[in-house]
Amino acid sequence: MNDAQADMDVASGIAKHTHVSVSGCEAVPENLAASEGRSLLAPRRVDSFTSKLSSPSSPVFTQEHKGAVMNYKGDPIQIGQQITQILLNSPDPETVLLKIADVLGKSFQADTCLISSVASHQATPQTVVWCADDHTSLAGNLSEIRSKLWMLLNPLLEDNLSNSEPLAISDIHAIETRFDVEDPVRAVLVIQTQFQSQANGLIVIGRWQPFEWTDVEKGLLKAVADSVAIAISQVQLQRQLRIATQYQTLINQLTMAIRSAIEVNQILQMAIAGTAQALEVERGFILLLKYVDPLFKTRSLTKALPKAKVTVACEYNTGEQAAISEPGSALEESFADNISSEQTSSINPLSSTLPSSFLLSDCYLCQQAFQKAPEPVIITDKQDITTSNGFDLFDLETMPALLMVPLESQGTVLGFLVLQHRQPRSWQSEELELVKWVSAQASTAIIQHQSIRVRQDLVEERTAQLQRSLEVQAKLYDKMRQQVEQLRQLNQIKDEFINAINHELKTPLTTMSVAIRMLRQAELPTERRAKYLEILDQQCTQEINLITDLLTLQKVESKKSPIELQKIDLKQVIQNLAEPFAKKWADKGLTLEIDSPTRSLMLQTDSDSLNRILEELLTNAGKFSEPDSIVSLRATHQVSQQVNQIVLCLTNTGACISPTEVEHIFEKFRRGQVAIQNAVQGTGLGLALVKSLVQHINGAIALTSCPIEDTQSCETCFTLTLPLVFDLTKI
């Protein structure tokens, strides 16, 4: 038997003589809170005893023992005054009875003194024990000794303790021989305290040795019993007021928290911590359920237990703050889809013996709570339970008293609010009402958070959809804008091409038409006739070359142009082109400088394509070079482990080419702004044909245009890279 059971036994013994209901008690020193129902949570109207305690209370003595009492060392009037002062000066009602026990123990020159209050409508029992200073070494075993003592005293109290007379036992061992000789309590003097004709407590004076209690001591104990009864009643009233205030504070805090829509984990933390503190229990925690079957809605749909996972959402231990899962963890996720989604959880590592999660089928108490919902599971003492399945989850050996209230919403069990205490205790009806109310508020908070989370998820989903739609529209708009810009550029190129073709076709034809008319003149001199014939030949050749360029470009792009590979000397090819271009450039004052190795530069390639590339590049350089400038052509042979190639660099000085034009310079019919502004002849096909022919012979070409310092001119360089040996696999 433990301390609390002993207290319950003695309280039951007192109640049987006075018809007072005893529902529970606690061991030394336990501060238990009484409970009020939802409608009873406001403090009841009680009459204050301060006015009665403003002056020392004087116990009433009969004439037959008054003189004897006055000759005894303890003065009942002085004891009454001390009790009154303790009541008036003690700010904490929990220490009042212990101080009174100290006064009584010293006044009776006893070894120990016990004062116990009886459970009332709103106050749970309280038991305190005082031990003399010279016997403090026995205090460690006092709880066990008291438990054995109550096992003996309980039947004696039922038979011998009257409503007003004390019970004196000079030697317990003489009455009962089942106690060991080491048990220190041998003699006891017991009296029941009464207030307003009802028993409200018990006073026990004890000695370690057998002792004959005198009538004087009995009279003194009887004389001070009224003062102690008043003190017990006052302490109970103060505890009732404090407990009712705690209840109301908890209710107000939860109500405001839910209205303020704060985070649900904070509401649950507040609920479990506030409830555990108000009921003065050792531990509390909230369990949440996750159903494997998302369509499972109500318990009434099936008699079988559903497959569900139980997770610990938050936990409270005496002296520690409530431990809660972090935001974004399984607790936060479980509220978003408490009934129909996956849920996992973790708790802060307090002193809890609970796992972070377990199956509903693994816990007998959870199964019972689920099946009994909406009614709570109430365990006063673990000894009341016949099975031990799943008890290790709640550590009932350490916490034998348990209250498990379901969290429900429209018939669906969301979880459980669990309270545990280190000592056996009866759960008062007012306490049950409070815990049920808190559970209802916690369920409301969970459902409210779930609804908000669902709406938030829906809003986020719709927002994401809208964002994606806007992004798609933006991409489509950007694509359309690019296409419009491309169409505009193509249209501009088309216009420029038409203009160029018109000029390139119409001008030679016009010239040829004039020459033909002149040749028809009969009296035309021979010299003039020869000149007109030469003009006809030049213009006809120009038209043929234009058509040839178009056809060649079309063949190369369609990859229908054949490749005739042969070994050629690049130095010789360059020399063959140098003389004709030197004559063409003579009028403009251009000079061609050639820089090449002294040895031959032999390579395998298509001779016609290479010649056409060099002709177009030199022609282009002649058109856009400044007068009296130098056109440089440098040839080098690059050999390494990775490459074996010939690099040609054709450089001239002229107008700058913008970076934008550089990007598009090799496109068909593309003419630079300089060519357009200066009316330079051309169709825009030359460089496009060069790029196609270079790719045709597995080469590469690039263009740079770099400003020359202190001038408005740029150095333009075409870099042509040709493989020394043609790779047939790249055709």
pLDDT tens per residue, range 338-350: 333 333 333 343 3
Structural domain includes residue 42: no
Tokens of 138: 């026995």
Residue 337: pLDDT over 50: no
Mapped onto helix, strand or coil, the DSSP state of residue 328 is: coil
The rounded distance, in Å, linking the Cα atoms of 329 and 684 is 67
728's tokens: 């047939």
Range of the domain at 675: 562-730
At 398, the pLDDT band (50, 70, 90 cuts) reads confident
- pLDDT exceeds cutoff 70 at 483: yes
Residues 340 and 222 in one domain: no
3-state SS class at 348: coil
Q: Which tokens hold the place of 286?
A: 């909230």
Instruction: Kindly report which listed range (89-93, 220-224, 722-726) carries the lowest average pLDDT score.
Output: 89-93
Integer Cα distance of 683 and 498 in angstroms: 9
Burial class (CB within 10 angstroms; exposed 0-12, middle 13-18, buried 19+) of 329: middle
Could you tell me if 306 and 364 lie in one domain? Answer: yes
DSSP class of residue 119 equals: P
Both 65 and 97 in one domain: the answer is yes
Residue 271 sits in the same domain as residue 233? no
How many other C-beta atoms lie within 10 A of the C-beta of residue 31? 14
- Mean pLDDT, residues 428-454: 84
Claim to verify: residue 398 and residue 287 sit in the same structural domain? yes
Residues 6+ apart with CB under 8 A from 312: 285, 286, 287, 345, 347, 352, 354, 355, 356, 357
DSSP code string of 295-307: T---GGG-SSPPP
**Residues 265, 222 share a domain:** no
- What value does the mean pLDDT of the chain take? 76
As given in the structure block, the two tokens for residue 575 are 């020399």
Domain-embedded: residue 515: no
Q: Could you give the CA distance from residue 399 to residue 2 in angstroms, rounded to a whole number?
A: 13
Q: Are residues 654 and 695 located together in one domain of the fold?
A: yes
Does residue 63 lie within any of the structural domains? Answer: yes
* Beta strands 630-639; 591-595: pairing state: parallel
Report pLDDT for 21: 29
Can you give the CATH number for the domain in which 725 is found? 3.30.565.10
Assign 353 a pLDDT band (cuts: 50, 70, 90): low
Residues 6+ apart with CB under 8 A from 274: 246, 249, 250, 253, 254, 438
Which of 329, 327, 271, 299 lies closest to 445 in space, CA to CA?
A: 271
Same domain? 659 vs 588: yes
Beta bridge partners, 702, equal 719
Number of Cβ within 10 Å of residue 350's Cβ equals 15
Give the list of residues 6+ apart from residue 435 with CB closer than 8 angstroms, or none: 275, 279, 376, 403, 405, 417, 419
**Tell me: the pLDDT tens digits for 400-427?**
889 999 998 888 888 999 999 888 888 8
706 within some domain: yes
pLDDT at 91: 80
CA torsion sign, 359 to 364 to 367 to 373? negative
Into how many domains does the chain fold?
3
Residue 435 has a pLDDT of 87
The pLDDT of residue 607 is above 50: yes
152 and 236 belong to one structural domain: yes
Tell me, yes or no, whether 206 and 268 share the same domain: no
In a domain, 486, yes or no: no
pLDDT at 634: 94
CB 683 within 8 A of CB 542: no
Q: What is the mean pLDDT of residues 87-97?
A: 83
> For residues 621 and 124, which has the higher predicted lDDT (pLDDT)?
621
φ, ψ of residue 406 in degrees (nearest 5): -70, 145
Quick one: pLDDT at residue 469?
Answer: 93
Task: Give a yes or no: residue 323 inside a domain.
Answer: yes
Q: Is the per-residue pLDDT at 546 higher than 50? A: yes
Count how many Cα atoms sit within 13 Å of the Cα of residue 241 in the half-sphere of its side chain.
12
Contact in structure between 184 and 160 (CB atoms under 8 Å): no
User: Cβ of 403: how many Cβ atoms within 10 Å?
Assistant: 23
Domain assignment present for residue 507? The answer is no
Q: Is the pLDDT of residue 722 over 60?
A: yes
Position 336 confidence tier, pLDDT thresholds 50, 70, 90: very low
* Single residue among 456, 484, 519 that ends a domain in this structure: 456
Query: pLDDT per residue over 633-657, tens digit each?
Result: 999 998 887 888 999 999 999 888 8
In a domain, 268, yes or no: yes
267 in the same domain as 236: no
